[in-house]
Each structure stands twice: as structure tokens, then as C-alpha cells.
Amino acid sequence: MTAPITVDESTFESEVLNAEKPVLVDFWAPWCGPCRLVSPVVEAIGQSHPGKLATAKVNTDENQQLAMRYSIFSIPTL
């Protein structure tokens, strides 16, 4: 079982864009109720595809520039 990795502005390129396998990225925030509902689903997707798919989480409150770069205007966004 692999938990989603936490990525930020400094690690997004290496962990997501340059990853060897596809990465499902969950843009979320701690105050977001729907984000709390989506989180276990993202974890389950990663666990059901070990070695084929990675999952990552980006806290949009802490990484606003990264969210803006990818036009994340509402959360959760996958």
C-alpha cells in the first residue's frame, strides 16, 4: 500500500511532471469538506494500482502559485 505523496512548488516537477509512471494529483485544502470525501477515494485508487499509478496531494492554501499555474479555481480538483 502506497499513500499519496505530498508535493509542493519545489517538488512538483520532479515528483509529478518527471515521474516514470502516471500521477493522479489531488489539489485540496484542509478546510474543504468535499476534499475530505475525495481523499479516501484517491488513496484507494493508488492502492488498487500499485506500481502502475502514483498519487499525490497538493495543499492549495500552501501552494497558491502552483494552483494558479494549473488553473485550479475550485477544489477538490484531480
Question: Hey, which residues are catalytic here?
Answer: 32, 35
Q: What element of type H or E holds 74?
A: none
Handedness of CA 24, 27, 30, 32 (dihedral sign): negative
Respond yes or no on whether the N-terminal peptide bond of residue 4 is cis (omega within 30° of 0). Answer: no
